Structure 1
Amino acid sequence: MNFIELLLLAAIWGASFLFLRIAAPEFGPFALIALRVGIAALVLAPVLRSAAAGSQCRGKAWPLFVVGISNSAIPFGLFAYSTLYVNAGIDSILNATTPIWAALIAALWFGQAMNRSQVCDLMLGLAGVAVLVWDTAGGGVAGMPLAIGAALLAAVCYGFAVNYSKRRLAGVQPLVVAFGSQLAASVVLLPPALLSWPQQAIAPSIWLCVAALGVICTGFAYILYFRLIERVGAAYAASVTFLIPVFGLVWGAVFLNEKITPAMLAGCAITLLGTGLASGKLSDLLPGKHKKLA
């Protein structure tokens, strides 16, 4: 049961890049992501029915604000921009580099020690990124290199948010973190969203993509993610990172006719292998490992 939920979560988060790819050209990054986090905040708002949750939300307002910026507002916006030029599948692979940046930030910024094996594994992951970027950027499409850089910067932001949350939000209810961060991101993104709001009429199908991004890919996905953490632990839930690119590539190919090249598959495999070895999470994908908790 837990592995099925993990696959469902990966499928949902993989689909988020599909919806971004469809809706971003119509709304633009600011308006689209403001809607995404605003809808997600409404979905998660019932968490405040608990007095303890409300107290934590007020007491940790600043850390929640920082996480809202670094884990939602900025990276969501960067990925929305990136999907204007980059395939959904490629963005989903670049998103999977988050553990690499999290480990590097932990070592360089927060002083966490890394052994030689971890360094080698991270270098392997970065080599996979290089293969993917070389193949993608070589297409000669205007704006492609900047879009790839934006996606990688988004993953760096996620890496920072992981380390910051561990240190500043330890002990806070996970759904409080989810709601508070989405609310903070909504507040920050509202002004630029209003200034860049699309002038043209938006088709109902595009609005459905926006609704799916906010309700399913953010609000419901957070609930599912934190339920997995509660039942089987953070390491197992975080292993979803290595499944998201599979669905990102599949959804892009099926619904947007995106090509999957051998270089993309090679870059994806090398990146995920290096990242998985460095983080020690590859074994967490084995369903039997957590059978007793299912």
Structure 2
Amino acid sequence: MRPMAAATPIVANAWLTPAELLLLGAVWGGSFLFMRIAAKDFGAFALVEMRLALGALTLLPFLLPVKDKLTASHWLRFLGIGIINSAAPFVLFAWAAQRAPAGIVAITNATAVMFTSMVAFLLYGEKISRRSGLGLIAGFIGVIVLASDKTSGGSVVPAALAGVFASILYGFGGNFSKRYLHDLPPSAAAAGTVLCASIVVAPLAAATWPSAPVPALSWLSAVLLGALCTGLAYFLFYRLLYRIGAPRASTVTYLIPLFGVIWAWVFLGEPLTVSMAVAGSLILGGVALSQQRAAARKT
């Protein structure tokens, strides 16, 4: 009987990890749907503040166990990284969601992995292999193709550029978090940065809070964006991070734009254009090349 009992966790993990990766991709992909629905009624700053505040409340239990270890330096790092890795990119994505289909904005998010590698190379001298270099080139071509798309006769260039700039900030934020918050559990670091980001955005949200009544659907979308797509998503991500490591956990990047496009098509009737399909293939292909390099190092 002992061998059967020992095998149970292995069987459970065999389905649990893929299931959680799929769920996380679906949840994070849904964030672009919720932003598309709510941003037009709340505006970028008010919507992002709700997202950050609800996310901080959800993540706060992870910060409390290490509160006695936190120094003034930690809080300064929380503040800086919170602006770079949460406040600013969230605002950019919310702004873009008012001006382009959710699927297009979701696809730009996939470039974050490539920009993380590029920032690591430029600032810290981490090597980029030939395979990763080809991936970066493919990804940038994908961004150009995506920016050339037109929806209902209008250009999506401003929204696509905002999404790419947000992903560039994610590239800096990921590297800074790794180097300057390494002495804290990842979940506590996420809680501290999201909390500080919410404090930064709060005055801007108060100054731009909508004067007109906000529809119930937008309220629901804003609440889900904060509690589900920020709080629960971070919780799932850090569970995966501890269980399977960063390289495998980051494969969720492949799923986010897929679900972003699917949710926008199902719930908003947004079409999948040829430019979106080509751009998504190029960007995700570039990410795959970069991730294969990381996987090769682990084997």
TM (norm. structure 1) is 0.91
User: Paired residue for 1:14?
Assistant: 29
Aligned counterparts of 2:295 and 2:116: Cα–Cα separation in 1: 19
> Structure 1 residue runs of 4+, over 3 Å off?
56-59, 281-284
Report the identity percentage: 40
**What do the CA deviations read for 1:209-264 (whole angstroms, capped 9, x no partner)?**
11101101000110010001111111111110111111000000000000001221
Residue 29, structure 1, aligned to residue 44, structure 2: yes
Query: 1:115, CA displacement in angstroms?
Result: 2.7
Aligned counterparts of 2:71 and 2:41: Cα–Cα separation in 1: 34
User: Paired residue for 2:56?
Assistant: 41
Q: Unpaired segments of 5 or more residues in structure 2?
A: 1-15
Q: Is 101-110 or 52-61 further displaced after alignment?
A: 52-61
Amino acid across the alignment from 2:38? A
Query: 1:117, CA displacement in angstroms?
Result: 2.8
1:199 to 199, 206, 211: 211
Q: Is 53-62 or 18-27 further displaced after alignment?
A: 53-62
Structure number, greater radius of gyration: 2
Cα RMSD (Å)? 1.9
Residue 74, structure 1, aligned to residue 93, structure 2: no
Query: 1:99, CA displacement in angstroms?
Result: 1.1
Q: Unpaired segments of 5 or more residues in structure 1?
A: 290-294
Residue 126, structure 1, aligned to residue 140, structure 2: yes
Query: 1:203, CA displacement in angstroms?
Result: 1.8
User: Paired residue for 2:9?
Assistant: none
Matches within 5 A, 1:93-242: 93-136=107-150, 140-141=153-154, 144-242=156-254
Aligned counterparts of 1:206 and 1:121: Cα–Cα separation in 2: 38
- Whether contact under 8 Å (1:57, 1:180) holds in the other structure is no
Amino acid across the alignment from 1:28? G
Query: 1:102, CA displacement in angstroms?
Result: 1.0
TM (norm. structure 2) is 0.89
Give 3-state SS (helix, strand or coil) of 1:198's partner.
coil
Amino acid across the alignment from 2:31? S
Q: Name the count of aligned residue pairs.
A: 282
Amino acid across the alignment from 2:34? F
Distance 1:169 1:8, change over 3 A: same
